[in-house]
Amino acid sequence: MSTAGSPGRVQPARPGDPSRIGPYRIIGRLGAGGMGTVHAGLTADGLRVAVKVIHPAQAEDPEFRARFRREVQLSARVQGPCLVPLLAADPEAAAPWLATAYAPGPTLNQYLADHGPLTGGTLYAFAAGTAQALAAIHAAGVVHRDVKPQNVILGPAGPRVLDFGIARAADGTSVTRTGVMTGTPGWISPEYYRTSTAGPEGDLFAWGALVAHAATGRLPFGVGAPDAVAFRVMSGEPDLDGVPEALLGLVRKALAKEPAERPAAASLAEECTRLLAGQATQVLDAAAGAEPTRVGELVTAQWHIPAPDDPTWHPPAASSRRRALLAVLVAAVLVGASAGGALALRTGGHDDSVGRGAAGHATAGPAGASATTRAGGAAHVTPPSPTPGGTTASPTDPRRVAIPVDPLAGISGPAFTRAGDESEPTTDEWRASAAASTAQERAVERAVRADVTAMLATKHMDFMTPTVTFNKRAQTVMVTGGPVSQLPDDDQGMFERAGEMAACTALAHRLQDEPRAWPYGRYVVAWRHVDGDPEPDVLGFGEATDGCLTRIAGQWQGDQGGLAAAGIPSSDKAEIRVADAADKAITAEWNSRIAQGDGLAPFSDRNAISLGFDPVERAAYVWARDTNEVLVGRAQRDNFQDAVSKTLCPKLTAEFHRNPSWNYTRWSVAVYEPDGSDPELVRSGECLP
């Protein structure tokens, strides 16, 4: 749980969120994690702060509260360049909290993924700044113990190290208990693997790995299973090919297997600052060593990371919580979107004679990636290769490949024999599942993982990478997330729906292509709260012979799960752009109809109309908060949905033809009544024939 995230992008506050925490006015959210929520706050004079509030379950644990109290006390002493300072905290509050200055910019891992390795003066500034930050932390008697790319922000003036001394309490990784390994593989020191010793030397080992990663874009000890990474950390040599010669010696020393052979942070900071000064056009007395207060100036002078798009944070208007920053997406978690809602709609409530995926309709798939296609019969997500100026969707456009409605229709003797079996899968079946062992299973595993990740990425949730396993006897594919304890309901609901859709799509295609050879037709979506969890929570299950989209009388229907997903702010630039344009167009159309004297009235709140996207069923949702009963009658609601469909469909269709990554071709309209009851889904439809 950190201040990291899209720069300046404040998510709307959720129902039950506080309006004030300590001296800070809360205007929205910056993020959430398994151990708490990060709120966007403002001081009385407009300073932006990140206020982290611990979940009640941790607050009720006396041991946790004691650790949190101690680490707050230590962290308050840490000051220096390239740090995000602790501003205030209340460890004794019913919901303990702490506030830090807000650090705009991408994390190191986000930047490397988008732009590649750091080079030149920027790399030396990164090495010097992070070393100086660790020196300041250690001088205050604090050990970071979680140095990794996700905890370093590349801000407009240099790197900023996050979560010193506190992140481990807030994220559940600060105290080593007997038999419990904490930390992140690849950033854990050899001595910690051997003896669970977490001292300042471990931070220096992680610093060496961090600088190597920044310089090369690769993880110095590779990727793979945690035990394989641990083996390489303890006995293998790091991959340092590409680290500049001047930095190579310092990085090698920091990555020494024995803690005593590593330099102190202060010594590293001094050496890195001298190297940085050598890169500068104006040397800041390198021979004598730069003063700590001047390190930040030197880092800033050599820092060449573009300033992030960081618009001003605005407090929410009193009449609406819908728009916190971008005037596009929705305000709150929607009432009634329970985790079981999507499952209930997947196992019933549709016209079986038609199914949920009619031929010629675009398939469900993630925004930001070309839709589900097939390779060797397995559904998978293929990123598009747009041509200059965009492309026009053709009849063979992979986005138009339909999900088979009844893939075993007319097949005698199929390998999948449990069609129509509505019995709930057991935890024993989940435990007996195994990793993919055949080429076909591996293809399905890749398809499901890619599809789930792409859907979740549009909501800042792609950290929930699924594990896909197979139980041939149960003829079931298991899609498992975690381990993350106390996952927020919104995240869990999104993972459930994405996992169900991805598994259903992949299995339906495979059943159709190899009906007499492919034995898997059922799927389970589960969540583990801790490593080694013997009984994960089963979030949902179903079978791919039943169709994967909800249809009633042949028409696609929106549902509460999709409406809830649309209420989660998007991270996709195309979605934000289209939503903004469509929102304005719908409002203008409604105002035009009012002016024509059709017996329609304006909404009391100028921000009453909202729009968001559900990446699972590729649908745009529009909803109105009808506080003054403008849509109380059926005629008024029909008029409103007509205004929405006639205005929204041209926007979605134009983007579909212009942008080969665009997948949204469906729409649904909902109305919130003044009594606060669950929203009513008025009508749904599709824009493409």
Phi and psi dihedrals of 583, rounded to 5?
-60, -45
Is 171 in the active site?
A: no
Q: Is there a cis peptide before residue 483, judged by omega within 30 degrees of 0? A: yes
Q: Which of 35, 292, 308 is nearest to 182 (CA)?
A: 35
Q: How far is CA 442 from its chain centroid?
A: 25
Residue type, 424: E
Q: 622 and 586 in contact (C-beta within 8 Å)?
A: yes
d(CA 621, CA 450): 24
DSSP codes of every residue in 56-93 = HHHHT-HHHHHHHHHHHHHHTT---TTB--EEEEETTS
Cα 126 to Cα 108, 244, 286, 439: the distances in Å are: 10, 13, 17, 43
H-helix segments, 461-612: 489-513, 560-566, 573-595
Q: Which residues neighbour 303 within 8 Å (Cβ) at sequence distance 6 or greater?
A: 121, 122, 125, 157, 158
Q: Which of 145, 181, 180, 194 is nearest to 165 (CA)?
A: 145
Q: How far is CA 370 from its chain centroid?
A: 19
Neighbours of 674 (CB within 10 A): 11
Neighbours of 304 (CB within 10 A): 12
Structure tokens given for 548: 């994967």
Neighbours of 561 (CB within 10 A): 29
Q: Which residue has the tokens 């289209």?
A: 578
Burial of 689 (0-12, 13-18, 19+ CB in 10 A): exposed
d(CA 537, CA 108): 33
Angle at 115 (CA atoms; ends 616, 268), nearest 5 degrees: 120
Out of 17, 90, 146, 227, which one is annotated catalytic?
146
Cα 284 to Cα 37, 238, 276, 353, 649: the distances in Å are: 42, 33, 10, 78, 60
Neighbours of 247 (CB within 10 A): 21
H-helix segments, 514-599: 560-566, 573-595
Catalytic (active-site) positions: 146
